[in-house]
């Protein structure tokens, strides 16, 4: 008996093979395709597990019934497993060596013609597929991802359980949680004018669990963030959320690395641990992004020293203003056309760059409109620093330090996309550590957190909170995989004084601190242990493993990029009775018509 046999079936449509020849079996599934070959009817019976060929001969008592069948009818077939005659065997299909000769055929349910053809190649648009997602999921592409997702969730649970983590659910109806996005809110009928917020993450609760002494917490938690959506974002997403007491950054990293190893092992992939780690500053200098794709070895290099006394005003001016000059080589990039370079320059300008200098190295010499401004020593300095060879291109930007880092990062991404350099590894994990604790909020002019308001400063930088808040490095770490930010976490403030000081720098008055963060700040007074944790994007992780760019492909019922669920028609208007109960009145909204 297989584990998937039930009162209605002995086997699934994906499990019979030559070893079963001669057995009488009962299968259930959907009629995928029917072919009538000179009086013999072949039916592909399909379920989640695969497809089995059913044969109905002209003499069969069920021949008449088989003739009437239509696509997607739900069938129950009993018959004998037999070998497919020689030429008909299909070695590429798990059930390809056998067929089931139908003896009884029962229609469990009929089906109307479907609104679209169930074929990956039918070119059906995504909106239609999302409107009928339950039909879309009958095709293997997404269904397979969901099955893998379930298996990997189990791997994560088993692994964390084995390390003593407790899976604890935290509220979904709560109050505003500070993760930097807008909250989704739910009106409270019992408290007119008041609202619950859906959690942007269980951050506050998991820290409170540490204060309570729960020691090791995890949850496959749903996070709700009202932000502008992109391909890799959904208004709700799932995060492997964990928190641990009495730890340093290294303890959290070790747990995560072990978890990734198990997850990738389960998919047959070997990854190397420990993962490389880099300081935020260093990553920005070398790759121009805090989530660099390290499958590719291209590196940005600072060439400021070459231009310290340059006659080229653009470089010299940037350096005199305290800025930097940085460049990146694209191997084989001499093939870039003027048009392509202009497009890249435009992109950088749109992002605040003054311009983009380029030098091709062809036929043993440089080619560039900037050549006339550079002297021999500068050119040979560049050649050596970047090891320029025949057919290469060098892109250079000059300007303020962090902006130039970002601009160079864009050039790096473009070089990877255009020149398609060979990947040096398949899975490039990276820990980016010690992000700045605070950055200036351009709107309010106050300091604000870069990742999470509860992140602790590095102990040795505490004193800088008074003198140079923007220069304080924190115990914040991101986990990056193949250029995607997979997770983010930190060691937290367990001292109330430090936490309040940081909130103060962010411009919160003591009253506001109490009002917004009272639950956590007060708890820090009652023996909060040192603690830290991380949230890892589960949808993103599964997406990367399944090789898809869109997390919609790994979510059963995803929303569109405008936040709509086309299947349920959410979000939708409430009727007047509901509004009244909730003491809500809707103003200034055009009627849906």
Q: Which residues bind ligand ASP (CB under 6 A)?
A: 179, 201, 203, 239, 452, 488-490, 533-535
Q: Which is nearer to ligand ASP, 361 or 431 (CB)?
A: 431
What's the chain's Rg over C-alpha atoms?
30
The distance of closest approach from Cβ of residue 430 to ligand ASP in the complex, given in angstroms and rounded to an integer, is: 17
Least Å from the CB of residue 437 to ligand ASP = 13
Measured from the Cβ of residue 70, the count of other Cβ atoms closer than 10 Å reads 12
Q: Which is nearer to ligand ASP, 393 or 534 (CB)?
A: 534
DSSP calls for 420-467: -PPPS-S--EEEEE--BSEEE-TTT-SEEESS-TTBPBPGGGTTHHHH
Q: Which is nearer to ligand ASP, 178 or 333 (CB)?
A: 178
Nearer to ligand ASP, 288 or 453 (CB): 453
Question: 336 vs 435, which CB is nearer to ligand ASP?
Answer: 435
Q: How far is the CB of 179 from ligand ASP (least distance, A)?
A: 6
Q: Which is nearer to ligand ASP, 170 or 239 (CB)?
A: 239
Taking the mean position of all CA atoms in its chain, how far away is CA 453? 23
Least Å distance between CB 497 and ligand ASP? 21
- State the nearest-atom distance from the C-beta of 121 to ligand ASP, in Å: 39
CB of 488 to ligand ASP, least distance (A): 4
The DSSP line for 85-144 is PGGG--TTSTTTTEEEEEEEEEEEE--PPPSS---TTS---HHHHHHTHHHHTTSHHHHH
**Smallest separation, CB 28 to ligand ASP (Å):** 42
Residue 470 CB, nearest approach to ligand ASP (Å) = 21
Q: Which is nearer to ligand ASP, 469 or 533 (CB)?
A: 533
Q: Do residues 21 and 29 touch, judged by C-beta distance below 8 A?
A: no
Q: Give one word for 148, left, alpha or beta, with left for phi > 0 and alpha for psi -120 to 50.
A: alpha
Name the residue nearer to ligand ASP (CB basis): 399 or 489.
489
Cα distance between residue 412 and residue 218, in whole Å: 37
User: Of 428, 531, 532, which Cα lies nearest the Cα of 488?
Assistant: 532
- Determine the Cα–Cα distance for residues 25 and 102; give it in Å rounded to an integer: 10
Rounded CA-CA distance 153/433 in Å is: 27
Region for 338 from its dihedrals, namely left if φ exceeds 0, alpha if ψ lies in -120 to 50, beta otherwise: alpha
Q: What share of the chain is helix, strand, coil (3-state, %, to 5)?
A: 35, 25, 40
Q: How far is the CB of 452 from ligand ASP (least distance, A)?
A: 5
Tokens 């000769």 belong to which residue?
Answer: 101
Cis peptide upstream of residue 229 (ω within 30 degrees of 0): no
Q: Whose Cβ is closer to ligand ASP: residue 200's or residue 310's?
A: 200
């Amino acid at each position: 008996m297989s584990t998937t046999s039930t009162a209605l079936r002995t086997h699934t449509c994906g499990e019979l093979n030559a070893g079963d020849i001669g057995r009488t079996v009962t299968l259930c599934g959907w009629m995928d395709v029917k072919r009538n070959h000179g009086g013999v009817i072949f039916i592909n019976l399909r379920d989640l597990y695969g497809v089995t060929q059913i044969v109905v001969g002209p003499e069969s008592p069920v021949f008449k019934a088989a003739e009437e069948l239509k696509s997607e009818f739900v069938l129950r077939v009993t018959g004998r497993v037999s070998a497919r005659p020689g030429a008909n065997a299909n070695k590429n299909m798990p059930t390809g060596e056998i067929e089931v000769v139908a003896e009884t055929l029962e229609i469990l349910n009929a089906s109307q013609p479907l609104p679209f053809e169930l074929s990956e190649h039918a070119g059906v648009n995504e909106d239609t597929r999302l409107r009928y997602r339950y039909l879309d999921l009958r095709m293997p592409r997404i269904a397979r991802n969901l099955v893998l997702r379930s298996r990997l969730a189990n791997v994560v649970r088993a692994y964390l359980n084995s390390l003593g983590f407790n899976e604890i659910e935290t509220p979904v109806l709560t109050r505003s949680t500070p993760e930097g996005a807008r909250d989704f809110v739910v009106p409270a009928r019992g408290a007119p004018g008041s609202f619950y917020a859906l959690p942007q993450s269980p951050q506050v609760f998991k820290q409170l669990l540490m204060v309570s002494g729960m020691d090791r917490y995890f949850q496959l938690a749903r996070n709700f963030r009202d932000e502008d959506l992109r391909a890799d974002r959904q208004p709700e997403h799932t995060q492997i959320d964990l928190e641990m007491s009495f730890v340093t950054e290294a303890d959290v990293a070790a747990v995560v690395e072990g978890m990734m190893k198990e997850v990738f092992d389960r998919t047959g992939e070997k990854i190397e641990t420990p993962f490389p780690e880099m300081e935020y500053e260093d990553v920005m200098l070398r790759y121009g992004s805090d989530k660099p794709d390290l499958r590719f070895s291209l590196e940005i290099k600072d060439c400021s020293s070459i231009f310290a006394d340059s006659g080229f005003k653009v470089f010299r001016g940037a350096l005199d203003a305290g800025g930097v000059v940085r460049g990146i080589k694209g191997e084989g990039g001499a093939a870039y056309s003027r048009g392509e370079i202009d497009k890249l320059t435009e992109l950088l300008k749109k992002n605040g760059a003054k311009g983009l200098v380029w030098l091709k190295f062809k036929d043993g010499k440089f080619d560039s409109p900037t050549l006339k401004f550079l002297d021999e020593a500068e050119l040979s300095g560049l050649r050596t620093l970047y090891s320029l060879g025949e057919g290469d291109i060098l892109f250079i930007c000059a300007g303020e330090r962090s902006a130039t880092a970002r601009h160079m990062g864009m050039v790096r991404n473009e070089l990877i996309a255009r020149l398609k350099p060979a990947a040096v590894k398949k899975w490039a994990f990276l820990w980016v550590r010690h992000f700045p604790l605070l950055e200036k909020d351009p709107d309010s002019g106050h300091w604000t957190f870069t990742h999470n308001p509860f992140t602790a400063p590095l102990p040795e930088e505490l004193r800088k909170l008074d003198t140079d808040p923007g220069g304080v490095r924190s115990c914040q770490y991101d986990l990056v995989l193949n250029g995607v930010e997979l997770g983010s976490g930190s060691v937290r403030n367990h001292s109330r004084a430090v936490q309040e000081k940081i909130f103060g720098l962010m411009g919160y008055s003591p009253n506001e601190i109490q009002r917004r963060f009272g639950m956590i700040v007060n708890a820090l007074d009652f023996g909060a242990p040192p603690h830290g944790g991380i949230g890892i994007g589960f949808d993103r992780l599964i997406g990367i493993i399944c090789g898809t760019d869109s997390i919609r492909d790994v979510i059963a019922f995803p929303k569109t990029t405008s936040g709509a669920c086309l299947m349920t028609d959410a979000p939708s208007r409430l009727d007047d009775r509901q509004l009244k109960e909730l003491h809500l009145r809707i103003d200034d909204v055009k009627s849906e018509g």
